[in-house]
Amino acid sequence: MTSIEPTVTEGTRHAAHRTLRVLRTERVTPRMARVTLGGEELAGYPPFAPDQRIKLFFPVAGQSRPAMPRASSGGPVWPPGEPRPIIRSYTVRRFDPDAGELDVDFVLHGEHGPAAEWAARAEPGDWVGVSDPGGRYRPDASAGAHLIIGDESALPAIATVLDALRDFDGPIEAYIEVADPAEEQPLPTTAATRPHWLHRGDAPPGRPLLDAVRAAELPTGVPPSRCQAWLSAEATAVRDIRAHLLDDRALPRRMIYATGYWRATRPR
C-alpha cells in the first residue's frame, strides 16, 4: 500500500502520529474484526474521505504502548533506546469526529500476522499508534460508470468508495472476492449498483476475482474511456486484472486506480 509521509495538521498541536486507545471491538463477520479507536489525540484528525490509508503502530513484546516517532522536517524521529513498533498499513472504515471514534477493520486469517493477531486479542484500553491518513483516490466526475474490484482485505475501502458514490446515477459494478458466503457484508449501494460476491473456497487468492472480471460485460452504453475502475486485492491478482483492463478492455491508465494490498506468500 502507498506509504504516508509525516505531516502536521494545521490548527492542532498534534502531528501526523497519534496514540489512541481501543474503545470497543466487534466481529463484523467470522473473519473480520472491527476495532473502534478514540482518545484525546484524535482531536484535529483530518476530514474523512474514501479509501483513506493509515499506518498503525503496534506495541512489541514488553510494551503496553508503542513507541511513537516525532515528526520533523527531515522525517520521523524515533525515541532513542526504545524498540520500534510493528507498522502496518490499513484503511479507515469510519471516522466520526462528533463521537470521537475511528473504526479500522481487520481480516483475521487462519495464520494471523502481527496486526491481525493484535486485533483478535484487542480489548478496551489497549494502545495503538495511528498516522494521519493519505490516499489519492477520488471519483472522476466525468465517469459514466464505475468498476469496484477487490477482495476481503479491501472491503473496508470498498464500503467507503461505494458510500462516496451514493449520488452517482450511473451503473456501478462491484466484484468482491471473499472466502465464503458468511463473509459477505451489507454495503452502501444505489439503485444502479450491482454487487457480485465471489466465494473463493479452495481456489488460490485472486483467481475467482480475475476470472469474474475477465468474463464480465462492461456497462452497456458507456465507452471504456468513461469507465473508472477502483481495484485493490492480492498483489498478483491486481497486476493481472489491471493488465486485463488496460490491454483487453481499453480503459485509459488515468481511469484505473490499482493497489496491491497484500501478497499471498506473506501473512498480513
pLDDT at 7: 29
Whether 235 and 262 have beta carbons less than 8 Å apart is answered as yes
Q: pLDDT per residue over 119-165, tens digit each?
A: 999 999 999 999 999 988 999 988 999 999 999 999 999 999 999 99
Predicted confidence (pLDDT) per residue in 41-80, tens digit: 999 999 999 999 999 999 999 899 999 998 778 878 898 9
pTM score of the predicted model = 0.89
List where CATH 2.40.30.10 sits in the chain: 17-131
State the first-to-last Cα distance of the chain, in angstroms, to the nearest integer: 12
pLDDT in tens, 190-226: 999 999 999 999 999 999 999 999 999 988 889 999 9
The domain 17-131 having CATH identifier 2.120.10.30: the answer here is no
C-alpha–C-alpha distance, residues 193 and 147, integer Å: 10
Return the pLDDT at 112.
65
Residue whose entry in the numeric block shows the C-alpha cell 457484508: 185
Q: Where are the alpha helices (DSSP H) in the chain?
A: 114-121, 155-164, 207-215, 235-247
Percent share of the chain, pLDDT over 90? 79
Class of domain 145-262: alpha beta
d(CA 72, CA 15): 9
Please report where in the chains the cell 477502483 appears, as a residue: 230
Share of the chain above pLDDT 70, in %: 92
Decide: 17 and 71 in contact? Cβ < 8 Å: yes
Which part of the chain has CATH 3.40.50.80?
145-262
Cβ count near 11 (within 10 Å): 7
235-247 and 207-215 helices cross at what angle (nearest 10)?
10
Report the side by side order of strands in the sheet with 145-151.
193-199, 172-178, 145-151, 227-234, 256-262
**58, 128 Cβ separation under 8 angstroms:** yes
H-assigned helices in 55-187: 114-121, 155-164
Q: Which cell numbers in the block locate residue 204?
A: 488460490
